[in-house]
Amino acid sequence: MIISLRAADTLKRPSKGGRGSLGQFVVTDAVAWKICGVYAVVGPGGRRYIGGSKSIWHRWRWHLRALCAGRHKNDQLQEAWDEFGAVRFRLELIERCALGALSAREQFWLEQLGDYNICPVVGRPPDTTGIRLRPERRAQLAAMSKAVNGRPENRAKMSDRSRKLWQTPEHRERMRLVRVKYWSDPKNRERRRQQALQQHAEGRLGRVSR
């Protein structure tokens, strides 16, 4: 069983520096990687991006396409790829598992090894109640988020993206419906009223109707 596969070996014509050229995929080892399990995209210094897929080979190709095109959703992984190129990255098989256990095993390894991962929860579920991260992992994620969001160019990109989004009627209508749904819930109204009363008691808010 192959346990490691270099990005430079997966790409037919990888560039020695920069993002690299996607070219034609080499499929020699494709069959061995068409398995369900948890994988790691390993970069310089052994930093890892943890992921899971029912077909690791297809997911690996997705990562390479996005990285070579410069549009990977993980900014930290993309920046490292842009700086060091394909020759410094490889794919590692962390654990082979059944599809039903994939999310749980991916979450376990993400907390242990996910240096590049930004989202602390697999699949970004709407409710993360009961999921607790280790204190050192929370501190690491907070530092990573502060480093990324603290950059002026990133703040400018987010501001520009938000401004363009709010110019579309579809987005404004969608957000209006979200607010209507939120304030129609008595629990939400009471919670916000209690928050306002507390702020008023602390002198941080003006008069509040009781």
Edge-first strand order for the sheet with 90-96 is: 4-6, 90-96, 37-42, 48-53
pTM (two decimals): 0.53
At position 123, the amino acid (one-letter code) is G
- Nearest Cα neighbor of 48 from 38, 35, 36 is 38
* pLDDT given at position 128: 47
In the chain, the domains with their CATH numbers are: 1-126 (3.40.1440.10)
Cβ(93)–Cβ(37) under 8 Å?
Answer: yes
- Antiparallel, parallel or unpaired: β 90-96 and 4-6: antiparallel
Percent of the chain with pLDDT strictly greater than 90 = 15
Cβ(11)–Cβ(26) under 8 Å?
Answer: yes
Tens of pLDDT along 158-180?
888 889 888 999 989 988 998 99
Tens of pLDDT along 113-161?
888 888 878 875 434 445 566 677 678 778 877 887 788 888 888 888 8
At position 19, the amino acid (one-letter code) is R
Tens of pLDDT along 47-76?
999 999 998 888 988 898 888 888 888 888
Three-point CA angle 65, 66, 70, nearest 5°: 120
Query: Judging by beta carbons within 10 Å of its beta carbon (0-12, 13-18, 19+), is residue 66 exposed, middle or buried?
Result: middle
* pLDDT given at position 127: 45
Residue 3 has pLDDT above 80, yes or no: no
